[in-house]
Amino acid sequence: MKRSLVNDILRESDAFIRSFGYVLPPFAYWTPQEMRQRDSTEIVRRGMGWDITDYGLGRFDDLGLFLFTTRNGLAEDLSRGRGMVYAEKIMISRKDQLSPMHRHIVKSEDIINRGGGRLVLELFSRDADGGIDRDAALRVPVDGQWHDLAAGGLLKLDPGESVTLHPDTWHAFWAEGADVLIGEVSTVNDDKTDNIFEAPIGRFATVDEDVPPLHLLVSDYETFLTQG
């Protein structure tokens, strides 16, 4: 992805989020220089901030996702079973834009339709080897009520509805009818190690630096914040 496109998506996404009365935390608007000058140690350590991915395939409109991690615990909190054992994200799935089939190793998550169109999830169980079980039916809790689905069944969430997904649930999702603002509340989030995709794709985008960054992405921190 070109950095100019990333910058455009940042601006468009911020406006979309604000249209629902949701405002990102102040550090979201720090420039790269401010990220260096201010105490951003914990923000970086916890992987908080902007995240735009095309899964390394260069087709963001068809295959991509916008995310912003507002809070996140640490693996050591989770292993101790106390402290900040949770995380929260706000995301945008554009109309007909696919977030590809994947599951997590550790993370359980609530996926919440915060507004816009309908959020559609395709769901499968995990087989004994960790892959996709294309035959087994599954049950998922939707706002406290169990929903039974066939393998590969489509769960459609209207605004206000949510589903809980555990690490044994493979899932892909997209927005139907209009762009969707998505909330995610989960156990500690580690996007570097805790995503298993069905296809051989990457979690983060490769960015072509055609213009300076408006704001840093989480995937930029190691490069931009260690420069002299």
Q: Assign residue 36 the CATH number of its domain.
A: 2.60.120.10
Q: What is the mean pLDDT of residues 22-31?
A: 98
Residue 13's region, left for phi above 0, alpha for psi from -120 to 50, else beta, is alpha
Given a cut of 70, is residue 29 above it in pLDDT?
yes
Q: What is the mean pLDDT of residues 175-201?
A: 97
Q: What is the mean pLDDT of residues 39-64?
A: 96
Q: Do 94 and 179 contact (CB within 8 A), yes or no?
A: yes
pLDDT tens profile 70-80: 999 999 999 99
Q: How many CB atoms lie within 10 A of CB 97?
A: 21
Q: Return all residues near 218 (Cβ < 8 A) that are at least 6 apart.
A: 47, 48, 49, 50, 51, 69, 191
pLDDT at position 163: 98
| Amino acid identity for residue 206 in this structure | T
Given a cut of 60, is residue 81 above it in pLDDT?
yes
Q: What is the mean pLDDT of residues 57-77?
A: 97
What is the spatial distance between Cα 91 and Cα 68, in angstroms, rounded to a whole number? Answer: 6
pLDDT at position 227: 58
User: In which domain, by residue range, is 71 found?
Assistant: 3-224
SS3 content of the chain, % helix, strand, coil (to 5): 20, 40, 40
pLDDT at position 228: 47
Regarding predicted confidence, which is higher, 224 or 28? Answer: 28
Percent of the chain at pLDDT exceeding 90: 98
pTM of the model: 0.96
The mean pLDDT value of the chain amounts to: 96
Given a cut of 80, is residue 12 above it in pLDDT?
yes
pLDDT at position 225: 86
